[in-house]
Amino acid sequence: MKRNRVMLVDDEIDIIGLFSEVLTMNGIYVQPFTDPEEALKDFEINHDSYILVISDVRMKPISGVEFIKKLRDIDSKIKVIVMTAFELDGNQLKEIDTDEFFNKPIRINDLVQIVKKYVG
Amino acid sequence: MSQRLLERRIAIMISAIVLAGIIFSFLTYQYYLRNSSEVQKIAVEHIQNSTLIKVTDLSHLLRNKLDLVTVNLELLSSSKELSEQRLEIGKILVNSAQKTTANVVDFYNWVDSNGTSIWSSANSDDITNMKFKEFSAASTIYFSKVKDTQVPTYSNTLKFTNGQSGILIIYPIFDNQNRTTNINRTNEQFKGAILAGITSNTLNQYLGSQISPLSSANISLVDSSGLMTLTGIAQLTDANVFDKKFSSLTEQFGTSKSVKSITEVFRSAVSNPKTGTTDVTSGGKDLTLSYAPVVSNGIHYFTIILILPHSLVSSLDDLVVQQRNFAIAAMLIIVLSAGGIFFVITYWNKGLRRVVYIQTKELQETTKKLTYHDKLQKEFIDIAAHEFRTPIQSVLGYSEMIHANLKNFDQYFDKIIRNARRLEKLTEDILDVSRIEGNNLQLSKSNFDLSHTIQQLIEDHQKEAADKNVKVILDFKKNVPTTIYADEARLQQVFNNLLSNAINFTNNGTVIITAYKAQVDTNVEMGQQDEESIVVEIKDTGSGINPDMLPRLFEKFATKSGSGTGLGLYISKSIVDSHSGKIWAYNNKDGIGATFTFTLPIHQKKSKK
């Protein structure tokens, strides 16, 4: 199986919808999730197909930090981009083990650019 | 320390003090008890000693006096004058003998061989005449004895009618001229006798004068037969110590509890003429009896008995008891006081602890409230941020999407996008304002290349500038350090704001950005100080600033341009102020455009984590 899928995780359904369409329109295979637990379950099974995970940092029932940690436990090779609409200071950022980080709202062009960096 | 532990310790201390107090009281009691018995012993010894000394002294005195009497009698009895019956000289001798022993002897009587008085030293004294008569009567017997025995004779205690008693000492007078070696003298040689008469009264006066105020002392003079010659105890007058009745007389004082009774002591003192002292308890009182014999010339005339009660001792004992009681009372008071103090301290302590506890609780409550409030504030900003940004993302995103795919609706979506962008800007500005108002504008300082940052920003505004035919020039002076320590993001915000404004307000012109190092006043609370700073000037050739606006330029919602929020300069000023710098603006001297300047001190405080 080819590693070409991008996992999208955010509890805001509008955001998920937007980003999915944007990326899909740019020829990227996207798998959206609003529930991080569901996302984890899927990742456990299909982690081989994922090349990138884009996740919000503040979620329920598990936090973004926990979520990413678990992802890396399953597959250490996975690339992770974290996004947020919240205020994050430098210290909090250090705690999150992420390859890339952006603030919401983000221009869709910028989004595509960032994702393309990892997907190719 | 926990409450219970402290209480237990206090209880232990109190118990220890009480116990110590009891032990000390007990020890003090014992000490005083021993002390009092020691004192008693010493006092009693003292009394015994003094009584003994006194009685010895008295016996010596009396003995000396009696010795003198004896000497007188010897001299007189062996004198030629008396044996030859030379009257005149004899009288003188008799009188002078009386003078020498006047305080003991009442009279000397010179009698002839028939017993008739030739001369008496008492002739001159009327008072003694009475005694003399009685003496004379009594002396007859003894005269006969002397005549027969030819040796000196001593009488027992004689009783007189006036209640007094007395003794007689008779010495025979012999004619020694015709003395033969024969020891037995014949009657022819008996020329008479000389006698000395001593009354109990005289003795009493004499002894009384010697005894000096030992007020409770009691002198008794007992002769060798046991007869009371002289006594201070009324019941014992004229009694005989060897009499059976004597014991009952002494028992009148009270029953004797000691080993020896008064009677026994008297009897043994008289029977065994020696000096001594014994203690006797009679009728509850302790008495010291000291006795000494009066022996003159081998004759045991009297025994002096001195009786001294231990009244001093008992009063001394009382004192000691008083002291003891006082000491114990003092001890008890100290113990009670200590106990009292400790209870007070414990009570206080409890009270204090209560107060401290309450106050601590209150403080904790207040602290909790304050931190909670702070936390709420921060949370608000957090949430507000999220809430604003999320729908904005949608609006922007979707709008951009549509814009990208359906160019027909360019104009509509242009507006949507523009407004959405404006909303985006407003959001960030409102949040910034909120931070500034709540003193939550936290700078995140780092080292960065200022020149690089400015160039980047100029590039970002390239299109915007080009659209308005505005040329942007950067004049970065050499003396500016390559890296500066400040909040990069925030400074970018300031640059952006100022550059945007410059471009917005200029058409077909230039914007010159100049940066250099200089010594300028800093915006420090303590006062103006010169500090090494970077100065950035943004000069445009635009429409300039409305003179009415100039004073309130950096306040909230001062200027309202088409795309601006009216908060940009206010926020820029806050950022510059936070860096201890200054920001100001003026219209250019040549009348074209305006210049905005801000300073940034090179030495920045390290940002708090």
Q: Per the domain annotation, does B273 fall within a domain?
A: no
**pLDDT on residue A50:** 92
CATH number at residue B458: 3.30.565.10
**pLDDT for B609 beyond 70:** no
**pLDDT on residue B83:** 79
B257 against B436, higher pLDDT: B436
SS3 label, residue B27 = helix
CB contact under 8 A, A85 and B389: yes
Among A75-79, A81-85, B318-322, the least confident range: B318-322
Q: Per the domain annotation, does B542 fall within a domain?
A: yes
Query: Among all residues of chain A, which has the CA nearest to that of B446?
Result: A90
CB B595 within 8 A of CB B539: yes
Per-residue model confidence as pLDDT tens digits over B13-24: 878 888 888 888
Q: How many CB atoms lie within 10 A of CB B250?
A: 23
Per-residue model confidence as pLDDT tens digits over B370-382: 887 777 667 767 7
**pLDDT on residue B92:** 86
Considering only the beta carbons, identify the residue of B382, B392, B405 that sits closest to A105: B392
Phi, psi of A78 (to 5 degrees): -70, 140
User: Which range in A38-52, B132-146, B305-319, B340-354 is most confidently predicted, on average pLDDT?
Assistant: A38-52
Q: Per the domain annotation, does B392 fall within a domain?
A: no
DSSP letters spanning A82-97: EEESS---HHHHHHS-
**pLDDT on residue B180:** 53
Alpha carbon separation from A70 to A8, A35, A56, A81 (Å, rounded): 16, 14, 15, 15
Q: Is B447 on the interface with A (CB under 8 A)?
A: no
Helix %, strand %, coil % for chain A, to 5?
45, 20, 30
Hey, which residues does B171 pair with through a beta bridge?
A: B194
**pLDDT on residue A9:** 94
Burial of A81: CB neighbours in 10 Å, binned 0-12, 13-18, 19+: buried
* A15 min Cα distance to partner chain B (Å): 6
**pLDDT on residue A21:** 86
What b-and-e string marks burial along B131-146, b requiring 16 or more CB atoms within 10 Å of the CB? Answer: bbebbbebbeebbeeb
SS3 label, residue B105 = coil
**pLDDT more than 90, % of chain B:** 16
Tokens 């118990």 map to which residue? B15
Question: What average pLDDT does the segment B235-263 reach?
Answer: 70
- Domain with B121, as residue range(s), is 79-175+187-203
**pLDDT on residue B269:** 82
pLDDT band at A1 (very low <50, low <70, confident <90, very high): low
Q: Is B379 on the interface with A (CB under 8 A)?
A: no
Task: For strands A29-33 and A5-9, give the pairing.
Answer: parallel
Judge if the upstream peptide bond of residue B172 is cis by omega within 30 degrees of 0: no
- Quote the pTM value: 0.45
The torsion angle over the Cα atoms of residues B515, B516, B520 and B524, rounded to 10 degrees, is 50
Domains in chain A, number: 1
Per-residue model confidence as pLDDT tens digits over B84-135: 888 888 888 888 888 888 888 888 888 888 877 777 777 555 455 666 677 7
Average pLDDT, chain B: 81
CB contact under 8 A, B396 and A22: no
Q: Per the domain annotation, does B272 fall within a domain?
A: no
Tokens 């304050």 map to which residue? B370
Q: Is A89 on the interface with B (CB under 8 A)?
A: yes
* A47 min Cα distance to partner chain B (Å): 28
Considering only the beta carbons, identify the residue of B389, B401, B442 that sits closest to A104: B389
CB contact under 8 A, B390 and A15: yes
CB A115 within 8 A of CB A6: yes
**pLDDT on residue A31:** 95
Q: Quote the CA–CA distance of B147 and B154 in Å, as a whole number.
A: 13
**pLDDT on residue B313:** 67
What's the token pair of residue B351? Answer: 């009270």
| Cβ-Cβ contacts under 8 Å for B335 (sequence gap 6 or more) | B17, B18, B20, B21, B22, B25
B585 against B149, higher pLDDT: B585
**pLDDT for B187 beyond 70:** no
CB B230 within 8 A of CB B221: yes
Per-residue model confidence as pLDDT tens digits over B523-582: 655 556 778 899 999 999 998 888 888 888 898 776 655 556 778 899 999 999 999 999
**pLDDT on residue B223:** 83
A13, A86, A93: best mutation site toward chain B, by most B Cβ within 10 Å?
A86
pLDDT band at B583 (very low <50, low <70, confident <90, very high): very high
**pLDDT on residue B176:** 63
Closest CA to B577 of B436, B426, B378, B431: B436
- Domain with A30, as residue range(s), is 5-119
Q: Quote the CA–CA distance of B217 and B126 in Å, as a whole number.
A: 33
A8, A14, A26, A88: best mutation site toward chain B, by most B Cβ within 10 Å?
A14
Q: Is A67 on the interface with B (CB under 8 A)?
A: no
Q: Quote the CA–CA distance of B64 and B249 in Å, as a whole number.
A: 33
Tokens 């004294």 map to which residue? B125
Task: State the Rg of chain A over Cα.
Answer: 13
**pLDDT on residue A90:** 61
**pLDDT on residue B501:** 92
Q: Is B401 on the interface with A (CB under 8 A)?
A: yes
Q: Per the domain annotation, does B130 fall within a domain?
A: yes
CATH number at residue B118: 3.30.450.20
Q: Is A117 on the interface with B (CB under 8 A)?
A: no
Task: For strands B529-540 and B594-601, give the pairing.
Answer: antiparallel
Q: Is A92 on the interface with B (CB under 8 A)?
A: no
SS3 label, residue B375 = helix
Closest CA to B108 of B17, B7, B8, B196: B196
Q: Per the domain annotation, does B73 fall within a domain?
A: no
* B552 min Cα distance to partner chain A (Å): 31
**pLDDT on residue B213:** 58
Domains in chain B, number: 2
Q: Quote the CA–CA distance of B524 and B580 in Å, as a whole number.
A: 6
Amino acid present at B217: A
Per-residue model confidence as pLDDT tens digits over A16-65: 988 998 899 899 999 999 999 999 999 999 989 999 999 998 777 788 88
CB contact under 8 A, A105 and B397: yes
SS3 label, residue B54 = helix
CB contact under 8 A, B394 and A18: yes
B450 against B206, higher pLDDT: B450
**pLDDT for B344 beyond 80:** yes
Considering only the beta carbons, identify the residue of B381, B398, B442 that sits closest to A18: B398
